[in-house]
Amino acid sequence: MLNRRNLLRGLAGGVGAALGTPLTTDRLLSASTVNTKGEIKLGASSSTPKRVIFFMQNQGFDPRTCIPEGLKKSESLAKWKLPEPIQALEPYKERLHIINGLHGTHTSPSHSAFFGALGGYRGGDGVPPSPAPIDSDVSQALPLTLMPHLCIGSDSIENMRSKPTIATLSASGAGQPIFMHSNPNHLYQMLYGGISTGEIRKQHEARSSVMNQIEQLAAVKGSNLPATDGQRYGQFVDGFRDVNGLRERLAKVSDHLRQFAPEVDSRYNAPEFETDWHDVLLDLGVSALKAGITNTLTIGSGRGEIFGAWKGIGVEQQGHNLGHMNQPGNPIWIKIRQYNSEMLVRTMQALESVPEGNGTMMDNTLIVYTSNNADKQHTNGANWPVMLLGNLDGAFKTGCFTQLDGSRPINSLYSTLLNVAGRPCERFNMNEQLAKKFDSQEGVLREVLV
């Protein structure tokens, strides 16, 4: 039976996800082909379909957990054995690029850089986003999709249930956060509720009805507000309008979506551990990429904060205390990083299973793995390690390690991503004054490009 209280409690999830820049009908049609039946054919853009996945692990990414012992200078990874925390990536070493020596001192990360981690600017707890972070900009630069950007976030089961959405990592612009989905039931309903049956279909229809009613009611009630309040209220109304529009667009490609919708099992409604939800959230995110619903996926493990839990892999401690442990050689962090690596492998395998062009979807994909907190908790951001997997249609070097001198910021990697995505960018979210202080040179990070 439908629970009205639970239904209303989940509304924020749908609205939050729509606070990015959804694809309008006109833009959708310009990027797709419509047949004589009015059906939309996805992937009809003349551009090569590309996609980028950002995987952000909280509490820092110590370079000693990913760089082979003894490797000090830039060279091929071929003769080196990957360390235990990322051992799962050994079979995929030829697709891996480990980068050490970027910095983010200008982001003041401390406990977390929050929006500044992907934005390349000063962030902080409770500080609203400034310009759009790299994941949002990349999603707009890549060939258009139904929903340019999808964010998912994992945490303890208690936090994911009590706060099914949270915004700490991504935004579509200044003061416009994009919310991460943390309840897989809500995300499944949003993406695939229109093609489901039984109780899920009932919940989807009831949720849709309420959303339509709230949009209409909110539009009327906000018409007489003062200008300043009216603008804020208008953004709220637009959020409901956007998610309702997304639901309609997804309905137009229902036959296509049926090929990619994951099977709903007991992990959705009766998870034994929080990692059950972590796993199905990843499945839903990857399915959205495979279906062409989105071109950019952001994964926030710990949701950009100092929290997070992994009891399902035998880690009993959780939250802030994890950040005060040394990561190298630590059995707890070995398990967490191994779990991350296994998720990366699952993602690559899923994309490799789908033919695309002369290869597979993975051939046109790039995975960016790093932390929202540079190398460790309470860091000044002087070293910000990154792992890249894939080459985005041959653009990035793979199978190698690159050691930089610490003079180039994470912004240089982000401007490189934008250039490869098709949007020229000399400096990413840095004015000339900041660039002179924090970047030794202007332009792309040439060391990572083919």
* pLDDT value of position 13: 35
Phi, psi angle pair for 76, to nearest 5°: -65, 150
Would you give the DSSP letter of residue 21? -
Which strand ranges, in their side-by-side order, compose the sheet holding 365-371? 75-76, 400-403, 96-100, 386-390, 365-371, 51-57, 296-301, 149-154, 176-181, 165-173
Report the b/e string of 284-300 with b at 16+ CB within 10 A: bbbbbbbbbbbbbbbbb
Report the b/e string of 76-96 with b at 16+ CB within 10 A: ebeebebbebbebbeebbebb
* pLDDT value of position 18: 35
Amino acid at site 236:
F
Residue 271 contacts residue 265 (beta carbons within 8 Å): no
Whether 163 is covered by a domain: the verdict is yes
Tokens of 102: 């970027």
* pLDDT value of position 21: 40
* pLDDT value of position 238: 54
Closest CA to 304 of 171, 123, 112, 125: 112
Whether 207 is covered by a domain: the verdict is no
What is the spatial distance between Cα 341 and Cα 337, in angstroms, rounded to a whole number? 6
Whether 11 is covered by a domain: the verdict is no
Whether 371 is covered by a domain: the verdict is yes
Whether 341 is covered by a domain: the verdict is yes
Structural domain count, the chain = 1
Element spanning 178, H or E:
strand 176-181
Domain that holds residue 337: 47-188+266-448
* pLDDT value of position 193: 85
Whether 193 is covered by a domain: the verdict is no
Amino acid at site 230:
G
Whether 33 is covered by a domain: the verdict is no
* pLDDT value of position 195: 77
Name the 3-class secondary structure at 441: coil
* pLDDT value of position 48: 77
Long-range Cβ pairs for the range 377-380 (8 Å, 24+): 377/59, 377/60, 377/111, 377/306, 377/323, 377/324, 378/110, 378/111, 378/323, 379/60, 379/109, 379/110, 380/105, 380/108, 380/109
**DSSP readout, 363-394?**
GGEEEEEEETTTTSTTB--S---EEEEE-TTT
Whether 333 is covered by a domain: the verdict is yes
**pLDDT tens, residue order, the chain (450 aa):** 333 333 233 333 333 333 334 333 333 333 443 333 333 344 444 467 999 999 999 999 999 999 999 999 999 999 999 999 999 999 999 999 999 999 999 998 988 999 999 999 999 999 999 999 999 999 999 998 988 899 999 999 999 999 999 999 999 999 999 999 999 999 998 899 877 656 655 555 545 554 455 445 555 555 555 555 555 545 544 554 566 667 778 888 888 899 999 999 999 999 999 999 999 999 999 999 999 999 999 999 999 999 999 999 999 999 999 999 999 999 999 999 999 999 999 999 999 999 999 999 999 999 999 999 999 999 999 999 999 999 999 999 999 999 999 999 999 999 999 999 999 999 999 999 999 999 999 899 999 999
Amino acid at site 343:
M
Amino acid at site 281:
L
* CATH number of residue 180's parent domain: 3.40.720
Residue 90 contacts residue 74 (beta carbons within 8 Å): no
